[in-house]
A and B are shown apart, each in its own frame.
Chain A
Amino acid sequence: MSDTVINIEGAVLDFPMRQNGPSFLKEIITGRFRKGRGFAKFFRAVDGVSLSVKKGEVVGIMGPNGAGKSTLLRVIAGIYAPDAGFVQSSGRVTLLAALGAGFQKDLTGIENCYLNGSILGFNRGEVDELLPGIIEFSGIGDFVHQPIRTYSSGMKARLAFSIASNMKPELLLIDEILAVGDTDFVQRSQQRIQEMVKGDATVVIVSHRISTLRKLCDRVFCMHKGKLVTDGEDNEHSFSEYQRLATEK
C-alpha cells in the first residue's frame, strides 16, 4: 500500500453536455419526471480506467485529441470526482496545466507565492524558505513586488511554473506543457521537469510527443475514447498504437 501513490479502479467520468436557454428549461420541466430518460445528455470522458502507479514511477499517457487524457489527470488530482469506481492518491499533488490560473491579479508576485503555497499545504515559514529559489528560477527580478496584472503572459507562466516546480510536489501531473516564455526559459523548464522526473517524485505526463515520452517514461499508456487501450507493458506498442489512432482520424 505505502508505495502505491495512485490507485485508480474502474474510474468513470461523465460530462454533462451543456444545454442552454428554453430547451434546457423544457427538459427540466418535462424530462425530470419521466423515468428512464435522463434529463441531460452525457459525454463519457473517462470510461472505466484502472491504473496503479508506484512511488517514483514516471508514467506517460498519450492519445488522440479528445481521448480524455487531460480529464483523467484532473480526476487523479481530485478536481473531478469519478461517477463510478474510485481514485486514491497520496502526497502533495501538483497539476501543471493552464499555468497561472490560480493567480490573483491584484496581489503581488510574492503574495501570490504565499497564496499558492498555502493551497499546496505549506505554511508561511516553509514558503519563506522556498521563496529565493522560486524568484531566482522564474527570472522576473524586481517584478515580484508588483501586482500580477502588470505582468506579461510569459512572466505569469514563468512564475507559475517556478512556484509549482519549487514546491517539491510528491505527485506531479503534467499536461502538455510548455511552449511559453522565451527559448531559454523553455529549455530550463524542460530541464527542471527532467530533474523532477529523475528525482523521487511520481510523475504522470500527458503529451503528444513520442520523443519526450520515450526519454522520460517508465511506462506509457495509450488512451482512446476514454479507455486505456494498451496495458503499459510494452511502450513501443503504445507508440505505434498512438500513431495508428492519430492517423486514422
Chain B
Amino acid sequence: MEADEALVHVHGGRPSFIGGPFLVLSNLSRYRNVLKHFISRDLKVNYHGTILGYAWSLIEPLAFTAIFYVVFVILRGAPDPQLPLKIMIGILMYSCFSRTFSQTTQGLTRNAGLIRQVYLPREIFIISISGFQLAQLFLSMLVIIPLMWAWSIPPTEYLLFLIPAMLGVSAIGTGLGFMLAPLQARIRDVEQIVSILNRAGFFLSGVFYSIEYIPDEFIPIYTLNPVAVFLEFARVAIYGDLGKLTLYNLWYSVGIAFLFMTVGMMFFKRFEQRAVKYL
C-alpha cells in the first residue's frame, strides 16, 4: 500500500455545525470500501442459511399481494380490484422508511462493540444501514414487473418517478436517524419512541389507503407529509397518472428530504463524539 497522506488523523475540538455535512461526505468517499463491505455483509447475512436466498425479497411481497387479494377483493369485495397492488407498494415503501429510521437510530448502539474497538467515522454505520435498506427496496420493487403484467398495466415513462420516491423515503429516514442516533446512545428510551412514531406514521402515510380516498380539502394538509407524497409517487409511477398530485408536491418533498439529511448530518457530527462515550 502506498504511503498516503490521507492517513493523518487529527482528533480534538468540536466539529462545527456547518462543516458537518461536508465532513460526512468526504469521510464516506474516503471509506467507501468499508461501506461497500458493510452493505454486502448485511445482504449476505440477511438471507443467510436459506435455500431461496435473495428470491425471498420477491416472494415475500408476492405472497402479501396474494393475501391482500384474498382478503380485500374476494372476501370483502373491494370496489377497486387494484387495491392489493397499491397496498403492496405502500408497504414496501413504508417499511423501507420505518426500518431505515429505527435502525439508523440504533446505528451507534448496535455497533458499540466495533466502535469501541476501531476508529471508523461513525457515519459509515448509519449510511451502511440505509444503503442496505435501499438495496432491499430496489430488489423488492422488481416485484412490480410480474404484478403489472398480471393486472395488465402498461409501463410508462412515469416509472422514472420510482427513483426519487425510493431515494426520498430513504433520505428522510436516514436524516431522522442521524439526528436521533447520538441521543439514543445516551438515552435508550429513544428507540421505543421511534417505534411508536413509526406506527403512527404508518397510518398517516397512506399505506392502506391511497390519496384518492382523501377529501379534496384535506389534500394540502395530507401532502405536507413527505413520506406520504413519496409513497404516492411510487403509485403514480406505476399507474402513469398524477391523479390528485402535482409536481410541486414532489419538489416540496425532495426539498424536505435534503433538509432532513443536511440537518441530520450537522447534528450527528456535532454530537456523536460525546455520544460514543456512553456506549
Contact = CB atoms under 8 A, between A and B. Distances in A.
A79 B278 contact: no
Nearest to B4: A121
Nearest to A15: B277
B246 interface: no
Interface stretch (B5-13, B21-29, B166-174): B5-13
Contacts of B8: 88-90
B117 to A, nearest CB: 4
A74 B116 contact: yes
Q: Size band of the A side of the interface?
A: 35 or more
Nearest to A96: B117
Interface stretch (A97-105, A131-139, A181-189, A236-244): A97-105
Contacts of A14: 277
Given A80-B277, A81-B273, A95-B118, A75 B11 contact: yes
B30 to A, nearest CB: 9
Contacts of B7: 90-92, 121, 170
A54 B127 CA distance: 36
Contacts of B38: 115
Given A78-B11, A118-B34, A119-B34, A102 B117 contact: yes
A114 B118 CA distance: 15
Contacts of B278: 16, 18
B118 to A, nearest CB: 6
A66 interface: no
A118 B35 CA distance: 9
Nearest to B116: A79
A80 B1 CA distance: 27
B11 A101 contact: no
B277 A101 contact: no
Interface string B24-48: 0000000001101110010011001
A90 B9 contact: yes
B187 to A, nearest CB: 8
A77 interface: yes
A86 B37 contact: no
Given A81-B11, A86-B10, A90-B8, A98 B37 contact: no
B113 interface: yes
Contacts of A210: none
18 contacts: A16-B278, A79-B118, A79-B276, A80-B276, A88-B10, A90-B8, A93-B119, A95-B117, A95-B118, A97-B117, A102-B117, A107-B44, A115-B37, A115-B41, A118-B37, A120-B118, A122-B1, A170-B7
Top 10 nearest A-B pairs (CB, nearest first) are: A86-B12, A78-B119, A101-B117, A81-B273, A90-B8, A118-B37, A118-B33, A106-B45, A87-B11, A81-B11
Given A18-B278, A77-B118, A88-B8, 10 more contacts: A24-B187, A75-B11, A78-B9, A79-B115, A79-B117, A81-B12, A86-B10, A97-B117, A101-B116, A119-B37
Interface of B: 1, 7-13, 33-34, 36-38, 41, 44-45, 48, 113-120, 187, 273, 276-278
